[in-house]
Chains A and B, each alone.
Chain A
Amino acid sequence: MAIVSATHTGAPAPAPPPPTRRGRRWTPYLLLLPGMAWLAVFFVVPLVTLFSTSLQVPVPGGEIGQFQPAFRLANYADAISEYAPQFIRSFLYAGIATVVALLISYPLAYLIAFKAGRARNLLLVLVVAPFFCSFILRTVAWRAILADEGWVTHTIKALHLIPQQQSLTASAFAVVAGITYNFLPFMTLPLYASLERIDPRLIEAGADLYGSPFTVLRKVTFPLSMPGVVAGTLLTFIPAAGDYVNASLLGTTRTQMIGNVIESRFFRIVDYPTSAVLSFVLMAIILVLVSFYIRRAGTEELV
């Protein structure tokens, strides 16, 4: 995305592609062919099969797991009405996690962009470094850190911040905290890229015009960093809405997200049409969000 290119490019904007010489017309298509064919077969076509699976019906008199092609649109009504709570819960958890991630990441990105000097690259690496360790291990680590017997919980309860019977694990709080933690770099890096592009003289100008540091932040820095905020929000919210690992490791059956339902309907209760419906609806909602973004920013900035 332009976000990534912003972190690498010193030049103002990439030069437009040079005019093609005659006879070289096929080069770009040949270069594109293998990769795009792979994406077509393994990304675009599966979306089609997802849709067709969502319309299937069980084979009458067949075993569990046997479905036949059909065109039962009522599958959509059934699945959505039955699992609407999980949908809403997924978007709620993802939304809260995104907002908290923004609050945590903005000062961090600001620090790296403006106050880090030569340590900037190192700090960026440190932001991404936790990802070098398996994310499931890190999520399980949080479950152990927040366990009732751990000293973290003891300290928090000693400070009377939460009631004594409350458990921090197996709760919505733990799920949202896990999602926030796991997607923090997705919010920090686009924010950093956007903040780094801001001309520091604009901030100085704000101070010259008698703005307090907070006013300058509010009226100059934050509006200028909006592209990063939007990109970071999308990059965090969208994967978080479909995540189910956090809900499964850190939550209970009452904190199930839509991803959990999709997974269980594929593997535990073999009900392919329902899970296909839910996946497709999730995808459709995400596409709507992305289309708003594209309409404002255009497709050249995407990649």
Chain B
Amino acid sequence: MSGTTSTATAEGAALAGTRPAPRVSHPAGPRVRRWLGANALRIYGVIAFAYLFTPIAYVTIFSFNIPGRNNLTWRGFTLENWKDPCGAPEICTAVGNSLKIGFTATLIATVLGTMIAFALSRHRFHGRSTTNLVIFLPMATPEVVLAASLLTLFLNLKVPLGTGTIILAHVMFCISFVVVTVKARIASLDPRLEQAAADLYADEFQAFRRVTLPLVAPGIAGAALLAFSLSFDDYIITSFNSGGVNTFPKLIYVSAQRGIPAQAYVFGAAMFFIAMVIVLLAELVRRRSAVR
């Protein structure tokens, strides 16, 4: 009886943790090695992200470089480029063209792509696999093939190359990305919400306008942003189909041999930081509304 009591007490004490565990000495070497092993992946992640952002850091730093013939050697720190970003010839025209083309192409591509996404997600129709294929192929084709084929179309039809042909080209390759993004968003909708709308006497248009569209709106916004960034940053397709019109990437490429003006770096860094702020804000808003 006393044996069981003492065992129970000892066990109870061990389970309760009142008995201090004997200390084992951990030599520093294996401890460091164990820490490395446990955190190897995180360390790798830091290195990988540093690699990803090295050119961004370079662009940002050199946007503060004193302008000269080219922007390859560091001459000194100046804020002049940021104060006068249009200082280099042609650069603001080019950025303006890129913005105009970007907005127009984004608008058209988002509307057309969203319509296709709804058709694919919500309706039955013949020719589904052909439709899927025709939407997928522009994403899978090398840009140079898209660019060359469009150019042969314009050449054979004797269409003059300019801003119009650039917009036509950009809408073409943006539609597919819009379809994919919006379709993914539609697929993640809870169908019970629309059923609830129907239960509450909404007809199809009302349900679409008041329930579906607001729910899909973030997907459409994301698709529009994606289309805009694809269009703004496009070089290959634009260079083939632009004629004499300059866009921002085209200007940088053409001046890459002679020397890129420091103001171009200003625009590059500014675009990056503006986009980062927008995305981080959107993420904050999303987290805030998710918590609520």
Binding site for B on A (CB under 8 A): 1, 4-5, 7-11, 14-15, 17-20, 27-29, 31-32, 34-36, 38-40, 42-47, 49-50, 52-53, 104, 107-108, 110-112, 115, 121-123, 125-127, 129-142, 144-145, 147, 149, 181, 184, 234-235, 238-239, 241-245, 249, 258-259, 262-263, 266, 272, 275-276, 279-280, 282-283, 286, 290, 294, 299-300, 302-303
Contacts and interface: CB of A to CB of B under 8 A. Distances in A.
B91 interface: no
A115 B168 CA distance: 43
Contact of A47 (B53, B149, B240): B149
B60 to A, nearest CB: 9
B33 to A, nearest CB: 15
Interface stretch (B9-17, B19-27, B76-84, B112-120): B112-120
A31 B188 contact: no
Contacts of B35: none
Interface string B220-251: 00000000010001011001100000001100
Contacts of B190: 11
A137 B54 CA distance: 12
B256 A136 contact: yes
26 contacts: A5-B183, A5-B187, A5-B188, A10-B188, A28-B125, A43-B134, A43-B149, A52-B156, A104-B48, A107-B44, A111-B41, A122-B283, A126-B52, A136-B253, A136-B256, A141-B54, A141-B58, A181-B52, A266-B148, A276-B148, A279-B145, A282-B142, A299-B129, A299-B136, A302-B136, A303-B120
Interface string B101-124: 000000000011101101111111
B64 interface: no
Interface string B173-196: 001100111011111101100000
A71 B135 CA distance: 30
B137 A31 contact: no
Given A42-B168, A135-B233, A279-B145, A290 B140 contact: yes
A256 B252 CA distance: 20
B252 A279 contact: no
Nearest to A244: B144
Contact of B123 (A17, A139, A184): A17
A170 B43 CA distance: 31
A38 B183 contact: no
A182 B78 CA distance: 30
Nearest to B187: A14
A126 B49 contact: yes
B272 A34 contact: no
Given A234-B140, A302-B133, A39 B175 contact: yes
Contacts of B41: 107, 110-111, 115
Contacts of B73: 149
Contacts of A134: 233, 248-249, 252, 267-268, 271
Contacts of B172: 38-39, 42-43
B59 A245 contact: no
A132 B276 contact: yes
A121 to B, nearest CB: 6
B236 A244 contact: yes
B119 A147 contact: no
A138 B229 CA distance: 15
B140 A49 contact: no
B146 interface: yes
Contact of A238 (B44, B121, B140, B152): B140
Given A8-B187, A29-B125, A132 B271 contact: yes
A131 B272 CA distance: 8
Contacts of B132: 299-300, 302-303
A131 B233 contact: yes
A129 B276 contact: yes
Contact of B72 (A29, A31, A144): A144
B44 A108 contact: yes
Contacts of B256: 136, 140, 249
A31 B112 CA distance: 8
B179 to A, nearest CB: 6
Nearest to A281: B145
A47 B129 CA distance: 19
B45 interface: yes
Contacts of B151: 266
B184 A4 contact: yes
